């Protein structure tokens, strides 16, 4: 066979003269190999196992009520995912949440109307995020260091205002949002979470603003050289994270009806766990909102199952830790075995 | 004045100034007894900061130290309480062995599986903390359950100084030797500076990382026993959140979170600095509610001072999106 015929036969088999080699054809195997698919399967397995093992698991009312346990944390996980994709991290979220909650209590004490309290929380959270962002971007400090400092600052300020009392007696409006239901069955918090998740997904996956976050996470220097205002994105993301912590503070304070000194302790690690379990790479540049939401639902189902089975909450930390380690170690172990 | 361009003398001067300033306000703080207290109080933080420094130098972080400390401490306390005849050295060795084992788990996952250190130690942190609860059933082990020599050991004096201080001094000397004069220590700096190159020049990064985290774990185990014995109580929440204090001490001590930079003396001084502040605030009668806020503020200020000059960046070569909306701006 001479070269010309070879070329002709080739041009007959493929419609265009060149084939794009770096784009994989969509195959079931690659689809199933995606992190989100694995998470979805894990979620289904956990859900099915729970419904078989626990007789009262599949009660629609209980199930929907169970979402309240994770809705506030998940609200903070959404912007945290964006931050981690962008190669930053915020350890101070629980501190910002506590400070926002205290700010609402103080504002209520000062006679602010009930409608202004969510704004107070959002403003406080945003201010906390702004301080983090300024310290990170202006002074070129690593965010993990800055936020380790600000977490004790925020929590400290909250305890200065709070002293050893607790703020209680919040207006009905806050209870409505923290404990209320839509149509008498769907918790409002869960609806807020779903709406926010949809907004974040659109923002991250369909806008150029979102694409640039990936670009920054993949290579901040290259992103800067290609004309992205990297520091503005970072500052905006820190402020967004603070604002969401403020929103979470509004809902959480409404749900438990008080501000106590130990509000939301240890949440930063749970939130970060949700994000990483959701397949967001700690090295930056990769991750989806769908993955984070699936991780949130999986963790929520596990917690709900454990609480139905009367297992103390601290076992949950073990389960979450093992889940986190297993999900990142298993793919590595399988690949190592295959390489041998 | 090149001496003061280095971090350690500057930090030492900051510590001395801080002590003097507090002493001006409250002379009792400068008494020998009070200063000895500060040194004794700093020992556990110093020891943990030293090994954390080695971890951070390799571009890693060990978030599980406090949980490891709690678990090893609980094991030691329960051994002491339930097996009365057991000699003390055996209990201490057990605590160190438990810590070492937990550290090896971290080291294997990070070194051999090449998983990101933040994620791994975040996971093991939860697991170890939960294990404390499982082991103890949530119950406390209090002073009257532990044998007397078990509790007395850390503060017993040898040549006028408490054992705690001797142990911390020995750890300091050992780590200084490891970091400066051993192949192992120098390799850690190489790994932190350029992980890829370290591999090319034949450094067994896997093995080095394994033993770095193992060392961090072993020292956390030792500190677990010392903590439990010193405060004469063991419970699930022991040293909760202490990992952040340890990391803060390292950062204040000039250890770069980006890896490759850090000295033993710096980490120890950073820990001393935080302890001085922790001890000075009650002496100055600062309300306990302000203490956390002030500590946070001090960490931020120290980090800012340390970071001078690191913000240098390469030049922007393309106009910025968004900022460039006004076309006439560049003409000015």
Neighboring chain A residues of B129 at a CB cutoff of 8 Å: 314, 317
Pinpoint the alpha helices (H) of B26-64: 32-57
Tell me which DSSP letter residue A228 carries: -
- pLDDT of A26 reads 64
ipTM of the complex: 0.79
Confidence of residue A22 (pLDDT cuts 50, 70, 90): low
Confidence of residue A120 (pLDDT cuts 50, 70, 90): very high
- pLDDT of B278 reads 87
**Could you report the per-residue pLDDT of A138-160, keeping only the tens digit for each?**
888 888 889 988 988 999 899 89
Cβ–Cβ under 8 Å, residues A96 and A154: yes
Per-residue pLDDT at A1 exceeds 60: no
- pLDDT of A8 reads 47
**Could you report the per-residue pLDDT of B274-292, keeping only the tens digit for each?**
999 888 888 888 887 888 8
What is the arithmetic mean of pLDDT over A49-70? 85
Neighboring chain B residues of A136 at a CB cutoff of 8 Å: none
Nearest to A282 among B119, B295, B317 (CB): B119
What is the arithmetic mean of pLDDT over A61-73? 87
Distance of CA A11 to the CA centre of its chain: 48
Nearest to B318 among A225, A315, A321 (CB): A225
Taking the model in full, what pTM does it have? 0.84
- pLDDT of B223 reads 95
Interchain proximity A162–B322, CB inside 8 Å: no
Interchain proximity B321–A142, CB inside 8 Å: no
Tokens of residue A37, six digits: 């698919």
Neighboring chain A residues of B109 at a CB cutoff of 8 Å: 325, 329
* Site of tokens 């939960």: B130
**Positions of chain B with pLDDT under 70:** 1-5, 307-332
Please report, for residues A270, A293, A312, the alpha-carbon distance to residue A316 in angstroms, rounded to integers and kept in the order given: 11, 19, 8
B141 beta partners: B234
CA-based nearest residue to B294, from A286, A248, A159 = A159
> Can you spell out the DSSP letters for B217-256?
HHHHHHHHHHHHHHHTEE-TTTTTTHHHHHHHHHHHTT--
What is the arithmetic mean of pLDDT over A116-133? 95
Alpha carbons B80 and B88: distance in angstroms, whole number = 8
Determine the 3-state secondary structure of B317 from DSSP: coil
- pLDDT of B331 reads 38
- pLDDT of B311 reads 47
Nearest to B113 among A150, A272, A333 (CB): A333
Cβ–Cβ under 8 Å, residues B92 and B79: no
Interchain proximity B130–A315, CB inside 8 Å: yes
Please report, for residues A132, A291, B241, the alpha-carbon distance to residue A84 in angstroms, rounded to integers and kept in the order given: 15, 14, 22
**Which residues are CB-contacts of A127 (< 8 A; sequence separation ≥ 6)?**
A242
CA-based nearest residue to B14, from B293, B233, B274 = B274
Alpha carbons B17 and B29: distance in angstroms, whole number = 13
- pLDDT of B321 reads 58
Higher pLDDT, A113 or B157: A113
Alpha carbons A288 and A280: distance in angstroms, whole number = 7
> What is the pLDDT of chain A when averaged over all its residues?
86
- Give the chain A residue nearest B311 (alpha carbons): A140
Alpha carbons B274 and B287: distance in angstroms, whole number = 17
- The alpha carbon of residue B222 is apart from the nearest alpha carbon of chain A, in Å, by 23
Share of chain A above pLDDT 70, in %: 90
Alpha carbons A292 and A321: distance in angstroms, whole number = 16
Per-residue pLDDT at A324 exceeds 60: yes
Tokens of residue B163, six digits: 């054992």
- pLDDT of A30 reads 66
What is the arithmetic mean of pLDDT over A253-271? 87
Per-residue pLDDT at A6 exceeds 60: no
- Give the chain A residue nearest B314 (alpha carbons): A221
- Among A209, A281, A306, A321, most B C-beta atoms within 10 A, so best to mutate, is A321
Confidence of residue A105 (pLDDT cuts 50, 70, 90): very high
Element spanning B290, H or E: helix B288-306
- pLDDT of A266 reads 80
- pLDDT of B66 reads 93
């Amino acid at each position: 066979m001479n070269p010309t015929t070879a070329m002709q036969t080739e041009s007959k088999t493929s419609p265009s003269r060149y084939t794009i080699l770096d784009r994989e054809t969509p195959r079931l195997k690659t689809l199933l190999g995606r992190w989100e698919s694995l998470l979805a399967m894990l979620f289904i397995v956990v859900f099915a196992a729970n419904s078989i093992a626990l007789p009262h698991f599949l009660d629609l009312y209980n199930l929907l009520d169970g979402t309240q346990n994770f809705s506030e944390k998940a609200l903070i996980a959404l912007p945290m995912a964006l931050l981690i994709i962008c190669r930053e991290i915020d350890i101070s979220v629980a501190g910002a949440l506590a400070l926002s909650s205290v700010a609402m209590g103080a504002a209520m004490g000062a006679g602010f109307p009930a409608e202004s309290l969510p704004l107070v929380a959002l403003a406080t959270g945003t201010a906390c995020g702004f301080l983090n962002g300024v310290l990170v971007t202006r002074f070129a400090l690593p965010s993990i260091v800055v936020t380790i400092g600000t977490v004790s600052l925020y929590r400290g300020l909250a305890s200065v205002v709070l002293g050893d009392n607790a703020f209680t007696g919040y207006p009905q409006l806050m209870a409505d949002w923290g404990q209320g239901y839509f149509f008498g069955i769907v918790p409002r918090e869960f609806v807020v979470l779903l709406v926010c998740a949809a907004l974040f997904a659109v923002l991250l996956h369909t806008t150029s603003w979102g694409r640039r976050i990936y670009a920054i996470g993949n290579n901040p220097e290259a992103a800067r050289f290609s004309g992205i205002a990297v520091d503005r994105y970072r500052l905006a993301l820190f402020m967004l994270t603070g604002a969401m912590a403020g929103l979470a503070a509004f809902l959480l304070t409404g749900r438990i009806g008080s501000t106590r000194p130990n509000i939301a302790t240890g949440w930063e690690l749970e939130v970060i766990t949700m994000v990483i379990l959701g397949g967001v790479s700690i090295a930056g540049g990769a991750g989806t909102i769908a993955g984070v939401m699936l991780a949130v639902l999986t963790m929520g189902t596990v917690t709900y199952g454990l609480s139905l089975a009367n297992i103390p909450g601290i076992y949950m930390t073990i389960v979450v830790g093992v889940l986190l380690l297993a999900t990142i170690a298993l793919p590595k172990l399988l690949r190592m075995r295959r390489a041998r | 004045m090149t001496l003061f361009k280095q971090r350690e003398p500057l930090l030492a001067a900051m510590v001395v100034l801080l002590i003097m300033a507090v002493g001006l306000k409250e002379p009792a703080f400068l008494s020998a007894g009070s200063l000895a207290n500060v040194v004794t109080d700093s020992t556990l933080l110093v020891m943990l900061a030293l090994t954390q420094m080695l971890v951070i130098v390799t571009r890693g972080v060990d978030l599980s130290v406090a949980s490891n400390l709690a678990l090893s401490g609980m094991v030691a306390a329960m051994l002491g309480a339930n097996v009365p005849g057991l000699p003390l050295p055996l209990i201490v060795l057990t605590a160190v062995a438990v810590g070492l084992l937990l550290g090896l788990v971290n080291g294997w996952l990070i070194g051999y599986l090449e998983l990101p250190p933040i994620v791994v130690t975040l996971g093991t942190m939860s697991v170890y903390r939960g294990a404390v609860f499982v082991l103890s059933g949530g119950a406390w082990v209090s002073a009257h359950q532990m044998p007397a020599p078990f509790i007395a050991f850390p503060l017993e004096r040898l040549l006028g100084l408490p054992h705690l201080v001797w142990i911390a001094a020995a750890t300091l000397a050992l780590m200084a030797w490891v970091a400066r004069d051993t192949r192992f220590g120098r390799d850690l700096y190489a790994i932190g500076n350029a992980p890829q190159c370290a591999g090319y020049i034949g450094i067994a990064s896997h093995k080095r990382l394994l033993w770095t985290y193992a060392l961090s774990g072993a020292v956390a185990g030792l500190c677990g026993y010392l903590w439990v014995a010193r405060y004469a109580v063991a419970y699930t929440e022991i040293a909760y959140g202490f990992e952040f204090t340890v990391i803060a001490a390292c950062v204040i001590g000039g250890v770069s979170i980006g890896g490759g930079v850090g000295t033993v003396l710096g980490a120890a001084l950073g820990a001393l600095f935080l302890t001085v502040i922790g001890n000075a605030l009650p002496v100055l009668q600062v309300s306990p509610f302000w203490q956390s806020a002030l500590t946070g503020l001090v960490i931020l200020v120290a980090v800012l001072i340390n970071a001078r000059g690191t913000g240098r960046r390469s030049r922007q070569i393309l106009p910025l999106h968004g900022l460039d909306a006004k076309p006439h701006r560049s003409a000015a």
